[in-house]
Amino acid sequence: MQRSVRTPYDRVVMAVPVTIPYVRYSIESAQWWISRALKALVDGAGITPRDIDGFCVSSFTAGLDSGIGLTQHFGLCVRWIDTIPLGGASAIAALRRAARAVQAGDARIVACVAGDTNHVDSFRHTLENFSRFNQDAVYPYGAGGANASFALIARNYMRTFGARREDFGKIAVAQRSNALRNPHALMKAPLTIEQYMSARPIADPLHLFDCVMPCAGAEAFLVMGEDIAASLKLPAARILATIERHNAFGDDPVQVRGGWAMDIDELYAMAGVQPDDLDFVETYDDYPVISMMQFEDLGFCKKGEGPDFVRQHDLTIDGTFPHNTSGGQLSVGQAGAGGAYLGVVEALRQVLGLAGSTQVRNARIGLASGFGMINYDRGLASAAAILAGSGA
Amino acid sequence: MIEPIARPRRKNPLLRTRLPTSPPGARSRASHGFTRAAAEGRFMLQRCDACGTFCYPARDACPACLSADLAFADAPRRGTLLSETTLHIPADVHFRERAPWRVGLVALECGPRLVTHLHADCEEGMPVVMSFQLDKSGQAVAFAQPERETPNMTDDRQWREMTADPKFRRVLVTNGRSIVGQEMVAALKAAGASIVFVGIAEPWKPFRGEDALRAQEGVEIVPLDVGDEKSVADLAADIGGKVDILVNTTEHVRAGGLLDRQGTSVVRDEIDQSYLGFVHLAQAFGPAMRMRGSDGVNNAAAWVNILSVYALANWPVFGAYSASQAACLSLSHCLRAELRPGGVKVVNVFTGPLDIEWFQTVPPPKVAPRAVATAIVSALKRGLEDVFVGDVAEDIRRRLAANPKAVERELGA
Amino acid sequence: MDSSGLMQFAGAVASGAVRVVDLTFTLSPDFPVIVLPPEFGQAAPVRIQRISQYDAAGPAWYWNNLTFGEHTGTHFDAPIHWFTGKDLPNNSVDTLPLRDMIAPACVIDCSAQAAKDPDFLLSIPVVEAWEKSHGRIPPRHWVLLRTDWSKKGWRDYANLKDDGAHTPGPDAAVMRWLVEERGVIGFGTETIGTDAGQAGHLDPPYPAHHFLHGSGRYGLQCLCNLDQLPPTGAVIVAAPLKIQNGSGSPLRVLALLPAGQA
């Protein structure tokens, strides 16, 4: 294994995994949802809002507000602040920024939050204002969302690597099975592979159960010095390694790999572990094909071997390769930017042994990855993190 | 395999008319380089002046070398279809009404990749030919067609949305007295228009070509004096709901400028016929056309103006005429914006001097009336918006792009 | 006349004892107008532009703007209209004597001849034959040429061929004779123009215009309902608009005649 040149995440930890249960439609604002997560963070940590001196927020529906407006809205006085618009990579990006700030002494306790509401027209509004390239060169084609873009990617992936709908279905079905153990998952009905296969088409080859359900919700965690976590008596996780890469492989005609493929060796080198050492993986599952791509790019198999990997493994909580143990976005729901945090917060719970009914037995080390911002024809943002609990 | 379009049946008067919706119409400023290309039927991309890289979507700096010199240039149209999907449940109202809708990703031979609308005969992995078309929001979108011609190609449902093909549509040619008008009628019938209404003013005055016009099948002569608001309103009351394409063939050409004329009686005629005539037609026919932009196979699709290229730059020998044409050109832009919510295109066809009596002393090259008619049918079938017919019009267009002041002086010499 | 005669007259009009016949075509955009060679200035077509009609542009009222040439529809020609009358005194519609606007008329029926020949020309012998039956044409009378042309559809009314219009009118000799030998106050026709359609080829060209206006007399054209008038006995009211230095105007031409006479 190569040696890493990256500075280790010494003396900084993650604590207090927070999920504000999702609802399909909410009349509240994003600010309201973000504030619920902040409240849960301070209550969970046994601190007051005044103790938060770092704040990082991600949201698609906060309208006119970025992080700075929210400081006054919520009564936070901070010496470190960031607003991260990286879609599904926002949580790990937030983690990376906050951890370095705490390490450098620029902040003591950083709240990392993502929250989004879902009004009946939220989704359309988000799509219309997603990015300039999207406005100019995708939205006018009737895509109305990422479905068409990912359909093109999925179809190419199937043609190129021989993935079948059944392979994607297996991922979705396993996640639904996991979600049935998650009382907060919005999808409550079991899903069989037959139901997956016969579901109505959305944009070939994507059918109903390939798509997440947009909803309202919030997710959050705290990043703080190891010593502070100890003084507060908080279960805390270490960050073994992170990577982040944007707009990688721009010359690939159609996206078949994400940025992780460029830096994955560095992730494991920095963490000092191998892929086999991981007890669970939380991929960013906006579509099953992207999860399959992550299995390849995160080092679990070679490029193109994703279909076979899925066929060979049991992806449920108690299976051979526990994956998206809370049910993932496909079964829990996608609460806007909260979707970036869903896997990271679940990973934090897993390594802290706080996952309750979705707990992977003896989980100590796990990987969470993020992906997103399909600016035009491919997801630009990618990130991954390996977390470890105290037992690791 | 494209099924040929069936001739539309008579409209059911008991059913509500489907109202027009627009595809997403927001675009960045740089993107309007494609609008211009689509309007003229050109395929253009930004090409970096410093390193020669073609890029897409439109942007403000070269992704290869960061240069800001990204002028739009004509680009090769050929590409390969990398991937395609059929949208069954689009989120957008406009496309939801038209689902299933096929889009794809094309890799151009010159480099960039385009998300594009697809002709039904495009196949994954096969070569395609790209164009930019003006969609029902009047904005440019990419469109891929198979490289080789296929049967009933122009009947492709998605292609028909981007164009104003006369086939099975009902057309009003506003002035059948002129040769251009008569050639227009013939060309439209040949292109498959189901009926052509031809306006004739002052029917008590005979005109050349009248017998031939009356003898044609599917051609109906109607009274229309565009200078008389009641005449226009009365015709619209009769046939306004059946005009899918309107071709304004009003022709009033007189030589003369300002100082070589006495009084304004000729100018008044120019304004009365060309400018007020335009206003009357727009007020009488515009609202119904706008409302019928999504009304089936023979929906309202286009309004065509025949303008002198000297609308763009005054030619003092025909100075008053040039000015009245310029006024009509400005009106046409107003009309274009007002008809856009209905998805109805306003097509401006610019010509140099026509080969007609009123330009008799002008030396060649002049534009044959038949050439105007052919150009209009072609523009409708290709969905163009700004068309220059003949050598003089093209010459003026190029010279204006290079230096308008030179054009002004040279025309005024 | 004392005032009681005038009051009697007014009462007779009101009661119908004096019949009023409208010799006027409705002024509308589709009525044929004179067509001159395209190089010349053309008479403006009639345009009626609605300003408002109990709508947002004017909630309680209806009114129009009008455009027309002085010589469109049923209209009056003043002497100033032709070069031969350009220097005569009181030769425009705003200066001509008021008393000339009310004058009796002789109606000469040439409808049979015109039906056979669209280029029929009224000549001295025809008028003399008429005078044998109805008496010599008195001075200061209108002579109205009845041809029933006004009953035709517009196409036949204008009767344009590729050598111009073919409509009936007077020949040169009879016009000079009517002006000089009979002292007519004016000449009226049912056609577009007091002159025949092919009068450009007569000598002098357009003799009705030439001789009438050259002697300070008037023209009326596009008249209708002449078939309702007796050969003699009708009184014509023809008061053109008072247009500043006007050469003519569309107007209402009324014929007054005792009821029961036709």
Tens of pLDDT along A256-268? 999 999 999 999 9
Chains in contact with B, counting 3 or more C-beta pairs less than 8 Å apart as contact: A, C
Residue B261: the pLDDT is: 87
CA dist., res. A370 & res. A305, Å (int): 21
* Residue A151 token pair: 């359909």
Is the Cβ–Cβ distance between A294 and A258 less than 8 Å?
yes
Cβ-based burial of A51 (10 A; exposed 0-12, middle 13-18, buried ≥19): middle
**Residues of C with catalytic roles:** 81
Q: Which residues make beta-bridge pairs with B303?
A: B246, B346
Q: Is B230 on the interface with C (CB under 8 A)?
A: yes
Counting CB pairs under 8 A, whether chains A and C reach 3 or more, is no
Tens of pLDDT along A133-150? 999 999 999 977 789 999
Query: Which pairing describes strands B78-87 and B127-134: parallel, antiparallel, or unpaired?
Result: antiparallel
SS3 state of residue A372: strand
Residue at C166: amino acid letter: H
The residue assigned the tokens 């038949």 is B370
CA angle B365, B370, B371 (to 5 degrees): 50
CA dist., res. B350 & res. A109, Å (int): 69
Domain covering B170-411: architecture:
3-Layer(aba) Sandwich (3.40)
Neighbours of A208 (CB within 10 A): 15
Interface size between A and B, measured as CB pairs under 8 A: 120
The residue assigned the tokens 């009047």 is B138
Residue B112: the pLDDT is: 97
CA angle A212, A217, A222 (to 5 degrees): 115
Which comes out higher in pLDDT, residue A111 or B89? A111
What secondary structure does DSSP assign to A334-368, as a single string?
Answer: B-TTHHHHHHHHHHHHHHHT--GGGPPTT--EEEE
Residue of C nearest to B204 (CA): C155
What residues in A contact B137, CB-CB < 8 Å? 140
DSSP C250: E
Domain borders along chain B are: 32-162, 170-411
Residue B92: the pLDDT is: 87
The closest alpha carbon to C89, from C98, C102, C80, belongs to C80
Question: Mean pLDDT, chain A, as a whole number?
Answer: 96
Q: What domains are defined for chain C?
A: 3-42+70-258 (3.50.30.50)
What residues in C contact B265, CB-CB < 8 Å? 41-42, 44
Number of residues assigned to chain A: 392
Residue A392: the pLDDT is: 60
CA dist., res. C167 & res. B127, Å (int): 70
Q: Is B101 on the interface with A (CB under 8 A)?
A: yes
* Residue B43 token pair: 């395929």
Query: Which pairing describes strands B54-55 and A80-83: parallel, antiparallel, or unpaired?
Result: unpaired
Residue of B210, B214, B228, B251 to mutate, interface with C, max C Cβ within 10 Å:
B228
* Residue A155 token pair: 């179809």
Tens of pLDDT along A35-63? 999 999 999 999 999 999 999 999 999 99
What residues in B contact A149, CB-CB < 8 Å? 115
Q: What is the CA radius of gyration of chain A?
A: 19
What residues in B contact A151, CB-CB < 8 Å? 85, 87
The closest alpha carbon to A53, from A114, A107, A99, belongs to A107
* Residue A289 token pair: 């094909």
Section A97-125 average pLDDT:
95
Phi and psi angles of residue B209, each rounded to the nearest 5 degrees, phi first: 90, 0
Neighbours of A93 (CB within 10 A): 25
Query: In this complex, which of B92, B105, B135 lies closest to A377 when CB atoms are compared?
Result: B105
Section A197-222 average pLDDT:
97
Helix ranges (DSSP H) in chain A: 30-45, 67-74, 90-103, 122-128, 132-137, 146-161, 165-179, 193-198, 226-231, 260-271, 288-297, 306-312, 328-332, 338-352
> In angstroms, how far is CA A209 from the centroid of its own chain?
19
Residue C261: the pLDDT is: 65
Distance from B201 to chain C by nearest Cα, in Å? 9
Question: A3 pLDDT band (50/70/90 cuts)?
Answer: confident
- Interface predicted TM-score (ipTM): 0.89
CA dist., res. C85 & res. C82, Å (int): 6
Question: A1 pLDDT band (50/70/90 cuts)?
Answer: low
Q: How far is CA A377 from CA A241, A252, B296, in A?
A: 29, 11, 33
Distance from B220 to chain C by nearest Cα, in Å? 19
Section C46-51 average pLDDT:
94
Domains A12-121+216-231 and A131-211+236-388 alike in fold:
yes
Q: Is B204 on the interface with C (CB under 8 A)?
A: yes
Cβ separation C158–B268 shorter than 8 A: no
- In a structure prediction context, what are the per-residue pLDDT tens digits for chain B, which is 413 residues long? 799 999 999 998 899 999 999 999 999 999 999 999 999 999 999 999 999 999 999 999 999 999 999 999 999 999 999 999 999 998 889 999 999 999 999 999 999 999 999 999 999 999 999 999 999 999 999 999 999 999 999 999 999 999 999 999 999 999 999 999 999 999 999 999 999 999 999 999 999 999 999 999 999 999 999 999 999 999 999 999 999 999 999 999 999 999 998 888 899 999 999 999 999 999 999 999 999 999 999 999 999 999 999 999 999 999 999 999 999 999 999 999 999 999 999 999 999 999 999 999 999 999 999 999 999 999 999 999 999 999 999 999 999 999 999 999 999 98
What secondary structure does DSSP assign to B305-365, as a single string?
Answer: EEEEGGGTS--GGGHHHHHHHHHHHHHHHHHHHHHGGGT-EEEEEEESSBSSGGGTTSPSP
Query: In this complex, which of B24, B56, B89 lies closest to A140 when CB atoms are compared?
Result: B24
Is the Cβ–Cβ distance between C254 and C104 less than 8 Å?
no
CA dist., res. C114 & res. C127, Å (int): 15
Q: Is B283 on the interface with A (CB under 8 A)?
A: no
Query: In this complex, which of C47, C50, C158 lies closest to B205 when CB atoms are compared?
Result: C158
Residue A143: the pLDDT is: 78
Q: Is B106 on the interface with A (CB under 8 A)?
A: no
What residues in B contact A211, CB-CB < 8 Å? none
Chains in contact with C, counting 3 or more C-beta pairs less than 8 Å apart as contact: B
* Residue B62 token pair: 């070269």
CA dist., res. C192 & res. A166, Å (int): 88
Phi and psi angles of residue C132, each rounded to the nearest 5 degrees, phi first: -60, -40
Residue A127: the pLDDT is: 82
Residue at A195: amino acid letter: Q
Residue A126: the pLDDT is: 84
- Chain A residues whose C-beta is within 8 A of a chain B C-beta are 123-124, 127-128, 132-133, 135-145, 147-149, 151-153, 155-156, 159, 200-206, 250, 253-254, 376-377
Residues sharing a CB contact under 8 Å with residue C243, sequence separation 6 or more, in sequence order:
C70, C92, C93, C94, C249
CA dist., res. A353 & res. A325, Å (int): 13
Query: What is the share, in percent, of chain A residues with pLDDT greater than 90?
Result: 94
Domain covering A12-121+216-231: architecture:
3-Layer(aba) Sandwich (3.40)
Q: What is the CA radius of gyration of chain C?
A: 19
Q: Is B58 on the interface with A (CB under 8 A)?
A: yes
Residue A391: the pLDDT is: 66
DSSP C98: G
What residues in A contact B27, CB-CB < 8 Å? 135-136
CA dist., res. C34 & res. B211, Å (int): 24
Strands (E), C8-147: 18-22, 47-55, 58-67, 75-77, 102-109, 121-122, 142-146
Cβ separation A151–B115 shorter than 8 A: no
Residue B202: the pLDDT is: 93
CA dist., res. C179 & res. C137, Å (int): 11
Is the Cβ–Cβ distance between C118 and C167 less than 8 Å?
yes
Q: Which residues make beta-bridge pairs with C146?
A: C109
For residue A88, pLDDT beyond 60: yes
Residues sharing a CB contact under 8 Å with residue B110, sequence separation 6 or more, in sequence order:
B45, B54, B75, B76
For residue A164, pLDDT beyond 80: yes
Residue A124: the pLDDT is: 82
CA dist., res. B27 & res. C52, Å (int): 41
Domain borders along chain A are: 12-121+216-231, 131-211+236-388
Query: In this complex, which of B23, B113, B124 lies closest to A140 when CB atoms are compared?
Result: B23
CA angle A71, A131, B125 (to 5 degrees): 150
Residue B207: the pLDDT is: 92
Q: What is the CA radius of gyration of chain B?
A: 22
Neighbours of B145 (CB within 10 A): 21
CA dist., res. B114 & res. A141, Å (int): 11
Query: What fold is seen in the domain A131-211+236-388?
Result: Peroxisomal Thiolase; Chain A, domain 1 (3.40.47)
The closest alpha carbon to A74, from A48, A92, A96, A103, belongs to A48
Residue of C nearest to B207 (CA): C162
SS3 state of residue C258: strand
